[in-house]
Amino acid sequence: MNAPYELDAVVTAAAAKLMAATVGTAVQISRDVLADLVAHLDVDVSFLRYNDHGIGASRLVAEWPPRSAVPQPDPLALVYFADDPVFAQCEHGKTPAVFGPEPANADYQRLIEAGSSVHASSMAAVPLVSGEITTGTLGFVKFGDRRWRREELNALQAIASLFAQVQARIAAEEQLRYLAHHDELTGLHNRRGLLAHLSERRRQHERIVVLFLDLDRLKNVNDDLGHAAGDDVIRATAGRLHQALHPDDVLARLGGDEFVASLITPLDEAEIASLTARVHACLAESLQVGSARLSIGASIGVVIVGPDDPRDPARILRDADTAMYAAKNDGGGRTHYVATPEADCSPVGSRPEPSDAAAVIQQAIGVLRAQTGVATDDALQVLERMSHDDGTELAEVAGQVVDRAVERAGGIATPDP
């Protein structure tokens, strides 16, 4: 690769491929670009590594060609900066660095030999830089010695910049994907993530046991100590629930003080009762929040769904929610069950079944009109925005509005639509 126009063509070709990279294709496209660079640069190995500054290490992301024999554990998969002076220079380096088979690089040579059985090599390491942070390294290895020209290193810097852009974009996409399915305060699944989980279990025709929990005294904490203290209680509750449940169980926070656990481990009814008793005991233990020592209990609704049960995930959550309100209206700190679609654990009054979506929506519109004085069309728009923001069906959101009205009123929520 001698002429500048050839280098420009290599950079352009790499850019065209990397622009198409997605979360699912980024690693394979990176390998393809590395393969092109190995051929054009006449080197033996190329690799892409990302820096993990949280643990002070460099992680192998892609390499070309694949090693024919990879030792286990792979000494090149994760290299701590503190363990190797050459890799240490890649932690914060901002300009290309070239390393040869000199005695000064003996530790690096031994590491390469352990991972690839190559006894001597030279390497060019080009940093991936995002803002002020070095996020990784694009590396090229020649067995034996090799001299690198400034034009080559400049071209590789341009390609490393493209890799850094892909890295940042993929990280942003993964973060958005994570936030779309997880609660920001606790890191638990959110409603969307929970519904996706339950939908998959329904497709597999699995028996499902859901626990719907609502903290009994969080409002008092928010009113007396402030919402920051309430957030501390919510985070502590998430931690305690993790301790009480099986590690494989899926835990979600739906917002506010509502948590849902989807039990993965098969349990009979006696074991479920034992588990809910353990959860109650765990949550009832006193909790230090700032200078205050609090006791926060919970009301629990349980729904048991057989493999052939017709209820969909939204209906499952609504039934568990209804059972939870039965427990709360019974004094709190209790557990109520809904075992079948026909069972009715409604604590007060009733509202239309979810199958009668239009009636549920009309009842919710009536609730909003009574609470705010808005017109019917405006109330419907509010419900539609809530549905869009939560990623749930309109009837499901409407049912939640009705349920909250029932809770506040302590009776039947039946305002005229």
Residue 291 belongs to a domain with what CATH number? Answer: 3.30.70.270
Q: How many CA atoms lie within 13 A of 325 on its CB side?
A: 24
Task: Please say if the pLDDT value at position 249 is more than 50.
Answer: yes
Is 393 found in the same domain as 311?
no
pTM metric for this prediction: 0.61
- What was the pLDDT predicted at 353? 43
Q: Which pLDDT does position 120 carry in this prediction? A: 52
pLDDT band of residue 375 (cuts 50, 70, 90) is low
pLDDT at 407: 47
pLDDT confidence bin for 106, thresholds 50/70/90: low
> Which residues are known catalytic residues?
257
Residues 271 and 213 grouped into a single domain: yes
The total number of structural domains in the chain stands at 3
- One domain for residues 151 and 262: no
Domain ranges, residue 281? 182-347
User: pLDDT at residue 357 above 80?
Assistant: no
* pLDDT of res. 174: 86
Domain boundary, last residue among 180, 214, 231: 180
Shared domain for 43 and 114, answered yes or no, is yes
Helix-helix angle 150-181:4-19, to 10 degrees: 10
**Is a pLDDT exceeding 90 seen at residue 56?**
yes
Stretch 272-285: mean pLDDT? 91
**197 and 313 part of one domain:** yes
**What pLDDT was estimated at residue 377?**
63
Same domain, 286 and 376: no
Mean local confidence (pLDDT), 409-415: 40
**Same domain (yes/no): 196, 317:** yes
Give CA–CA dist 184/403, Å, rounded: 25
Report, as an integer, the average pLDDT of 185-193: 93
